[in-house]
A and B are shown apart, each in its own frame.
Chain A
Amino acid sequence: MDDKQLVELFFERSEKALAETTNKYGAYCRYIADNILDDKQDSEECVQDALTAAWNSIPPQKPKSLKAYLARLTRNLAINIIKKKAAQKRGGDARQLALDELRECSLPETPETQLDAKLLKELIDRFLQTLSKKQRTVFLKRYWFLCTPEKIASECAMSVSAVNTMLSRTRKQLKKFLTEEGFDV
């Protein structure tokens, strides 16, 4: 069943919608949740919540790619979980580790700049376009999917050393890109 047919099931409020979606994308959602959460139970609950969120939002949402839509729901829910947990104990979670690395790219605040979502999306898409496919894959696996460098190395048939080198260089490129776009004082 393709995404269009699955979304139609959601619109028809068919009971088959969740079963078919779980069949097709359950493992993918679990992959995303597992990268971010270090607890299997949290991961399972997160995936269930993501499917529930999809049921509650389609319609009126009509995603072109159900896979991408579910990925975002799962990721956002998983990040909310670790944010809540981080409030209770200090760092080391996947998001915090990614933030620590991205601190290299950060620039002084520019209060006069309106950083709305549309502008940010345009910025990141333009930056990603400047990267080779390999670089983009490794970058997004690290900072979107929050995969560890070891996992990225295994999935991309690279050494861990190569992954870390590539990430370090891409972060430098991002910083340069943001500077050239005027995000520094």
Chain B
Amino acid sequence: MNEEVIFDMISLADDEYVLDASHKKRTIRLGKHAVSMLAAALICTVLLACAAAAVVVTNIVHKGSLNDFYESSTVSEMESRGYTVGKSVENGHARLTLDSVMSDNFRCHPVFTLEALDDETDDYFKRQFSEPAPDTPHNVEYLVCKLCYADNGELIYDNIGLMWYRYYGKDKSVTLRADILYSRDGVWIGDERKNIVIDRSRKLKLSVEIIYADNISDLHLLDGLETELPHSEPVKYVRLYSQSGEQAYISELGIAVPRTYGDQTPWLYTIKWKDGSVTKEYETGSSGGIYNTIGKEMCLIDFRRLIDPDNIESIELFGTTYTRRE
């Protein structure tokens, strides 16, 4: 089914849906006096929001929540290697705690926990994260991260996808992972290649933004929640090669190969270790918990545990075997 057929198919949408979609949101025309009053009120709200964002040093890492994305043994190893953080910031509505940051040459994964501090935010989180827990990490709808340079606030990219796993519960918190994806000669985030080169000598700052909400008042609940990303040494990696010379990059965090694939699951691959043992078939949705991120030119698969790439002999993925080149 090609795009022309899909376009023609959309043309056949029911009249009811088409008519419903033809409406515009009602806008209210304000007089000059009302506009200046509104502007003053908005300025006060923004000032209050800025004043309310306070850095709170808690040194608390939500280890249980890190288990949403990593196995328990990995969380312990992350602690011992200094990848856990435990820095929080609050704005009166919510608290954001940066729990961990790990990165390799293709990805940077800050994991953070959002906690509701008032009823309004509690209600919003209940609606936003109300579905039954997905069996694999899922994209969050309508929440994104913005990445800036910490020294001068210069924007790098404002539409970084977030993954979530466990639905909002009685502890009034939800843990999310930002997927910051790099390429060797630029950056791309999610599906768009942006060719923005990140200057990794400068400190980076991450903030969370609600980009759509049914209630307009919800849009500001996470204002001011931003956190500096500590410098995180990239983890170990190896390069493996196919017979045709195609290169796979295997780090402690995952795999990167130059392929473009659809969202078919499960993701099957086989690792042959130097000791002769074989690890086979990590599937999405199982406790193996491998899930993928697709860039336009690279396929990234993330591990739920830190593996040792130095002990890998070869890896078979998508029908191609990649081995070491001495």
Contacts and interface: CB of A to CB of B under 8 A. Distances in A.
Contacts of A87: none
Contacts of A133: 20
B25 interface: yes
B30 interface: no
Given A98-B7, A157-B25, A165-B159, A137 B20 contact: yes
B3 A158 contact: no
Contacts, number: 121
A102 B1 contact: no
Indicate the size class of the contact surface on chain B: 35 or more
Interface string A15-58: 00000000000001000000000000000000000000000000
Contacts of A158: 211-212
Contacts of B139: 169
Interface residues of A, number: 57
B263 interface: yes
Interface string B1-40: 1111111111111110111111111000000000000000
Given A128-B13, A155-B25, A168-B191, A162 B3 contact: no
A65 B12 CA distance: 15
Contacts of A144: 10-11, 13, 18, 21
Given A109-B1, A172-B263, A175-B262, A124 B10 contact: yes
B57 interface: no
Contacts of B23: 137
B312 to A, nearest CB: 31
Contact of A128 (B5, B14, B19, B24): B14
A73 to B, nearest CB: 12
B313 interface: no
B141 interface: yes
Given A107-B1, A109-B2, A95 B7 contact: yes
Nearest to A121: B12
B13 A125 contact: yes
Contacts of B316: none
Nearest to B4: A99
A83 B179 CA distance: 40
Interface string B300-324: 0000000000000000000000000
A174 B6 contact: yes
Contacts of A179: 262, 264
Contact of A143 (B7, B14, B159, B264): B7
Given A115-B1, A128-B13, A144-B10, A161 B22 contact: no
B21 A102 contact: no
Given A144-B11, A157-B25, A68 B211 contact: no
B256 interface: no
Given A134-B212, A144-B13, 12 more contacts: A99-B7, A120-B8, A120-B12, A123-B9, A124-B12, A125-B17, A134-B214, A137-B23, A158-B212, A161-B211, A166-B142, A172-B263
14 contacts: A28-B22, A71-B22, A75-B11, A95-B7, A98-B7, A106-B1, A106-B3, A120-B12, A144-B21, A145-B21, A162-B211, A166-B142, A172-B263, A183-B1
